[in-house]
A and B are shown apart, each in its own frame.
Chain A
């Protein structure tokens, strides 16, 4: 479709959309749009939309992959790309038609509002995001240019850091206790529990807590731990770990709110577009595009589809509850719109789905659980009366950071020879052994001594170890 529009059209429609945005009560950061072509879009995708990003071969790989998929028509390109910053930056593809641009602009305002208001994003300094990434890029380039360091050495550390980047604290809103607080807590926990009859009871024995262990409490932030405690790292290596760590912290909220965020943006672009009184041809194309985006994908989860479904259902339950729902939950105390604004502030994907994905919705969307059976994938459960909660649990276990195993540092001086003891918090899902082995090598590379990882395989507790030469499993 030829792009028969110019920037004035976009400005006109943007002004109209902004009126609606204000009317509906969305509170956004200032917005900036930039038009780009498909090559630029591919580049932006590789670098998560950041105008400036440190170099690493994995981004080249990601670019090549996207380009191959795009060139062979396997996957299209996103209509837009939004980054969470203040002002909010968004890229529009210049090849797209006017209807698509209008839809995209409306969609972007949905994301913008979500970034600005959802609590998951509140600890990020949105105004500094672009600057921070640029700063990181400059630092990494500086290390590469440093003749005493060079590209190979930087790459080695970045490879290892990328492998561990997702092993970090999942919910930054939960404050981490300082070592002093952890110490105090350990001492308190070791003391006798309050006993109203202590005068007549025998004094319980007091077990001295072990306060010299590092870390005092199991630590899931692997990268930060290695950065702070690994004795063999040079300052520039620590800095690289810090950079990767900081960038992961930036992306974490987006990983954790993907479904809500996309659903929210779809909900608002639909609401805004329908209120704009579009000319018939634009309206027609909008409907087609919208339905392409929010269609279900069998065998997978389309966050646009799932998110929009749930938001719609929340609105319906508040505005137009069934008699049965009134009986069960009482009469709604506010309008659907009030409710979703509040939910948009306080939830993340896991809590959002846990609270609002009902059996009725799951049934309607035909949510299933699939298990491998030999070479085939077989439906093991469907969302019927008996199993829907099970299916939902499975769904939630893979949402956001749920698809990354929780691995905690237990002891930095295990068996007295500075072996690093890690524990995989087993929840019924086993680690992929081959990947675990290779990742342990990265941990070893940063720690410099033997690494032990406790996990479960085939219902048996095992310890995977990498001591620099051999991979031991027992």
Chain B
């Protein structure tokens, strides 16, 4: 589908709030499919990783042993779709003992107060 077909001139601030860990449930994978499609619609796309959502972008995922699709490389491909606004909540990382260097993609790490303000500024919030 071409960008022209989809752009009606309306640009909204979309946010995908990722709060679930990968593999245990399908939500992380299918959210990513939504994110990729939204790139075709010329919307202002934001991804937030909070709570267990931060586990989605943990480095070194290897799913061979569980025979499930490793979809984590897709996060690294997002910038190819001009999706570059990735935000991770610092408190969520700290609570889980995860460092910024454990993450597989460049993200902006913001504190909970900044996350609150960011979420509050959105036009459409999608969660899975």
Whether A and B are associated in the same complex: the answer reads no
Interface residues of chain B, those whose CB is within 8 Å of chain A, are none
Interface residues of chain A, those whose CB is within 8 Å of chain B, are none
